[in-house]
Amino acid sequence: MGIIKSIREEVKIIRERDPAIHSSMEVFLYPSFKAILHYRAAHRLYVKGHYFWARWISQRAVRKTGIEIHPGAKIGKGLFIDHGNGVIIGETAVIGDNVTLYQGVTLGGTGKEHGKRHPTVGDNVMISAGAKVLGSFTIGANSKIGAGSVVLSEVPPGSTVVGVPGRVVRRNSTDLPRETMNHTDLPDPVKEDITVLKQTDTELINRVLKLEQEVKRLRQEKGKEHENL
């Protein structure tokens, strides 16, 4: 893809997914736009073995945008980083097409091991603000990761993950639309568990009250029988 075509594609993606952008010229001030253009240039150098210059470009991007993308990461088309400050993408991370990351997201490793040590993110995945995905495993396509989640293991395609540690709370196979990336209406498993406990507690209380009434009635009947004797 030529540089002009690449720039046009990035402008189109940001305008589609950020309602705060009102003109194409504004996109040139957008941190995500700058970070991704720097990454594309750095990655080409990295692939050719020019590691120092690749890192030099990527570190300039970090200082300008607050977004750290290692030049060795493999990123598909349509990556959108909303706001972006504090986003970290590790060296062996692999990101598919049409992925959305919010501020504070980390695609990191779990130690100093060599080889593949960062996550693989499938197509059409949305990772919400502050989420941490740590380790060499796959986030399946069309999945959502809730804000503040810590994901440490494989996520099946079409899943919604929330919590610390992250757990799958919903499964479906619906594609995530590029223009409507809702990352607030996600299930709350703790709230759901508390609701179930409250319902169970209410049912138990009602059963105990019924038993107490039944015992009271039987005692009254027994008392009347003694009086008749």
Q: What's the mean pLDDT in 181-199?
A: 70
**Percentage of the chain exceeding pLDDT 90:** 37
Query: What pLDDT is recorded for position 226?
Result: 67
More confident call, 172 vs 217? 217
Residue 33 CB neighbours (<10 A): 22
What number of H helices and E strands is found in the chain? 5, 15
pLDDT for 22-34, tens place per residue? 778 888 888 888 8
How far is residue 173 from each of residues 46, 156, 157, measured CA to CA in Å?
Answer: 36, 10, 7
Q: Does residue 174 surpass a pLDDT of 60?
A: no
Same domain flag for 67 and 178: yes
122: phi then psi, degrees, rounded to nearest 5: -70, 180
pLDDT for 36-46, tens place per residue? 989 999 999 99
Same domain flag for 150 and 194: no
Same domain flag for 219 and 171: no
Residue 122 CB neighbours (<10 A): 21
Same domain flag for 169 and 197: no
Q: Which domain holds residue 224?
A: 188-229
Same domain flag for 138 and 208: no
Of 115, 118, 114, give the one whose Cα is nearest residue 139. 118
Same domain flag for 137 and 161: yes
Q: Does residue 55 surpass a pLDDT of 90?
A: yes
Same domain flag for 175 and 200: no
Same domain flag for 175 and 157: yes
Same domain flag for 56 and 72: yes
Same domain flag for 73 and 102: yes
pLDDT for 138-157, tens place per residue? 999 999 998 889 999 899 99
Same domain flag for 51 and 110: yes
Give me the number of domains the chain comprises: 2
Same domain flag for 98 and 206: no
